[in-house]
A = this chain, B = another copy of it.
Amino acid sequence: MTEYQAFKVELNDNIAHVQINRPEKYNAMNAPFWSEIVEIFKWIDDTDAVRAVVISGAGKHFSAGIDLMMLASLANELGKDVGRNARLLRRTILRMQASFNAVDNCRKPVLAAIQGYCIGGAIDLVSACDMRYCSSDAQFSIKEIDMGMAADVGTLQRLPRIIGDGIMRELAYTGRTVEAEEAQRIGLVNRVYDDHQALLEGVFAIAAEIAGKSPIAVAGTKEMLSYMRDHRIDDGLEYIATWNAAMLQSTDLRVAVAAHMSKQKPEFAD
Binary contact readout A233-264 vs B (1 if CB under 8 angstroms, 0 otherwise): 11111111111111111111111110010000
Bound Cα distance from A231 to B168, whole angstroms: 16
Interface size for A (C-beta < 8 A) is 104
Binary contact readout A106-140 vs B (1 if CB under 8 angstroms, 0 otherwise): 00010000000000000000000011100000000
Instruction: Given A89-B248, A156-B221, A237-B97, answer yes or no on A268-B148 (Cβ-Cβ < 8 Å).
Output: yes
20 extra A-B contacts, CB within 8 A, seeds A82-B246, A148-B257: A71-B257, A83-B249, A89-B248, A90-B244, A109-B173, A148-B255, A150-B223, A150-B244, A150-B247, A151-B221, A157-B236, A160-B161, A160-B228, A166-B188, A168-B225, A173-B209, A174-B206, A229-B233, A235-B235, A242-B243
Q: Indicate if the CB atoms of A150 and B250 lie closer than 8 Å.
A: no
Complex A-B, nearest 5 residue pairs according to Cβ-Cβ distance, in ascending order: A83-B250, A150-B220, A148-B256, A246-B246, A86-B246
Query: With an 8 A cutoff between CB atoms, is A213 at the interface?
Result: yes
Q: Indicate if the CB atoms of A173 and B210 lie closer than 8 Å.
A: yes
Bound Cα distance from A233 to B124, whole angstroms: 13
Query: With an 8 A cutoff between CB atoms, is A1 at the interface?
Result: no
